[in-house]
Each structure stands twice: as structure tokens, then as C-alpha cells.
Amino acid sequence: MVRNGIDNIEAYSSLFKGKRLGLITSPTGLAADFRSTIDILHERFGLAAMFSPEHGVRGDLAAGALVDTYRDSATGVPVYSLYRKDAKRLTQEMLDAVDMVVYDIQDVGTRYYTFIYTMLYALEDCAKAGKPFVVLDRLNPLDGVTVEGNVLKEGFASFVGNYPLAVRYGLTAGEVATMANAEQGWGAELHVVPCIGWSRELTFSQLGRPWIPPSMGIPRFHTALLYPGTCLFEGTNLSEGRGTTAPFELIGAPFVDAELLAGEMNAKGLTGVYFRPAYFKPTFSKHEGELCRGVYIHVLDERALQPVELGVELLFTVKRLFGEEFSFLPPVRENGRPFIDLLCGDSVYRDEAVDVPELLERFREESRLFAERKRVFHLY
């Protein structure tokens, strides 16, 4: 049986005893018996503070919703926000309240997902303040072997990509922290409480564990598996399925011809996937209440699927077929980069002259080089 870091906490009791602990967590911070990391650490060692990422420590906030400082109703522990309008870092006030910061959140192995940047910001802040940082490690649900997509370019950093990772990076959170601490020269006192029994080639579906949604937009494992590719549509005027029961599995817009798009995509012969014509009305987010036409993406073979290449092929097919009505979203901030550039970590998706096969070949080479670079930081 695979055990995550929190399941091995007893062997590391000496690390936590006598310290004022600050915990960064979310609803995925659970032991194998479904007890929360909050309860386990608070009962055994006492929590002095909690720090909330996007969605809140209890998962009660929508994507992008800002978090205010409050007290956790179950424990009475103060919860400080790491998802504020003005900043997403630990302040001196927060650091003064604790002797050690502990991180326990299930990652989805994709560069766009914001939790790892909450972790890396906190790790850097702790390094500067001389505070120890502990990662209660968790398996990478997409496996720890497969690497896909390009690496973030300098000048494209944001909260959906703030470190030069490949899109699908094949590392655990503890390994990402170890890599960044070494490559950035932060010199943090970093401790990783490891997983036990996890092999790098295993995906989540092979473990026999229940899926705990890491956020409301990732309700199933297959959602997480497609997310490295279909998240790109968050930077476009197509719905990425938010406001439906199948976010990141349904892609469409009112102007799309569902039958045409599904036929074009299936004709490409992409491995491990089938595109079914689909019709849906999002209850919130883009095209709320409007009939959207598009595709439902069915995963047929988890191992054969290449979600990043799927996403790129689908994006450029939509752009080619429906270019008069298709558009990339404008920058969120004045004088900022378009969101598609932040997701890509590059401006190449907006290049009118891009050759898709050449682009994908470039991405494969970047993935290969990243796979070599990351190998030295493997803990498993």
C-alpha cells in the first residue's frame, strides 16, 4: 500500500515536537484513514497557525477567489491568507507566529496548478527568515516518469508558472521543493517526509485509492490527466467546461461545429483518446447559460494518452476551423501578458505562422532535456 508523508508522521515526531507549527494545507491534506492533516498535527503537536492557498484550507472557495485572514471554526487556529490581492507570500507577522512551516497538499503534476507556487514562495520566505520548512510528500498522480510540454521561458513568470518546469513535470511536491531549493540557491532548511511504497511509473488509478478532488475544477482523475492539455483553453474564448460536471473534459463554444471538430480531431489518430461531439450549457464561467457546441474528450488508454500534445492539436484545430470567432483572452492586468502566454510560458501559441508539427517536436526536445535535469532530484 502506498503511504503519503502524513501517513508516516510518527517516525518523524522529533522533527515537530516543541515547535510552533504553521500548516499550509487544503482538503487533500488527508491521511489514509481520511483524518485531516490539520487534526493530526493539531492533536499531536499543536498548530500555531494555518496558511491558506487558493480555494481555502477547507476547500470552500472558488477558483480565483481571494482569501481573508480568519479563524478556523473547528480548531480555533488562526488562518492567514496566502492568496491575497496584493501578495501571495508569508509576511513577517506570519513567520513570527511559527517556528516551522509544514506543507501538505495533493499536487496534480502540472505546471499551471497554483499550489506548487504557494509552496515555493513559502519555501523561499522561510529560507530568508531562517525557518525550517517541511513537505509532507504525496505521490504524483500522473506518474513520476512522464515529462511533456515546453519549459517556462524567462520573462513569462506568473502564479500559473513561476519556475522553469515542463508542463507535465513528473515530480512530487517534495522533489520540486528540493530541486528549486538547490537550483535557486535558497539554502532553506528543507525536510521531506517521504511517501512509502510508491513507484515512479505508477499513476493514480493503479493505486486503488479514492480520488479526493484537489480543487473543484478537478473532480476526477481523468480530469487531472487531461488538464495539462485542456487547461490551455482557459486562455481562450472557448469554455473549458467550468460550470459543467466535466471541467477540462468538455471543450466548446456557441460558435463551434461539434460534429466537424470531433471528426477532425479523431482523424488525427491521437493515441489513447476519443473525441465525441458534445453540447452543454455552463452554469457559471464563460458562456454561462448559453448552448455550447464542442467535444467531450474520452480517455481510452491512460498510458498512451499525451495530454499536452492533445491540447496543442485541439487548440490549433479550433483556431483553424473557427478563426473568425475564436480569440485569445486579453491580459488580466493592464500592460500584462495575455493569459495564454502565461499558461504556455511562451508567446508561441499566438504566432500566426506556427507550424504545429515543428512546435510539438520542439516541445519534445525541451521535455527530454527537462527529464535529464530533474533526474538528480528524484527521491524515489
CATH number of the structural domain spanning residue 300 = 3.90.1150.140
State how far the Cα of 27 lies from the Cα of 18, in Å rounded to an integer.
26
pLDDT of 289? 98
Instruction: Give yes or no for residue 98 having a pLDDT over 80.
Output: yes
Query: pLDDT per residue over 286-334, tens digit each?
Result: 999 999 999 999 999 999 999 999 999 999 999 999 999 999 999 988 8
Containing domain of residue 276, as a range? 221-346
Contact 359, 351 (CB under 8 A): no
Q: How many residues does the chain have?
A: 380
Do 67 and 147 lie in one domain? The reply is yes
Q: What is the pTM of this model?
A: 0.95
Contact 249, 226 (CB under 8 A): yes
The mean per-residue pLDDT over the stretch 252-269 comes to 98
Contact 141, 202 (CB under 8 A): no
| Confidence band of 62 (pLDDT split at 50, 70, 90) | low
Do 81 and 20 lie in one domain? The reply is yes
Say how far residue 92 (Cα) sits from the centre of its chain. 27
Domain end among 179, 213, 247: 213
Do 116 and 241 lie in one domain? The reply is no
Do 227 and 316 lie in one domain? The reply is yes
DSSP state, 237? S
Do 195 and 71 lie in one domain? The reply is yes
**Sequence-distant (≥ 6) Cβ neighbours of residue 53 within 8 angstroms:** 24, 26, 82, 83, 105, 114, 115, 118
Query: pLDDT per residue over 153-210, tens digit each?
Result: 999 999 999 999 999 999 999 999 999 999 999 999 999 999 999 999 999 999 989 9
User: How many domains does the chain divide into?
Assistant: 2
Do 80 and 228 lie in one domain? The reply is no
| Confidence band of 87 (pLDDT split at 50, 70, 90) | confident
Do 63 and 208 lie in one domain? The reply is yes
Q: Which amino acid is at 24?
A: I
Label the pairing between strands 133-136 and 100-104.
parallel
Say how far residue 231 (Cα) sits from the centre of its chain. 10
Query: pLDDT per residue over 99-140, tens digit each?
Result: 999 999 999 999 999 999 999 999 999 999 999 999 999 999
Q: What is the CATH number of the domain that holds 162?
A: 3.40.50.12170
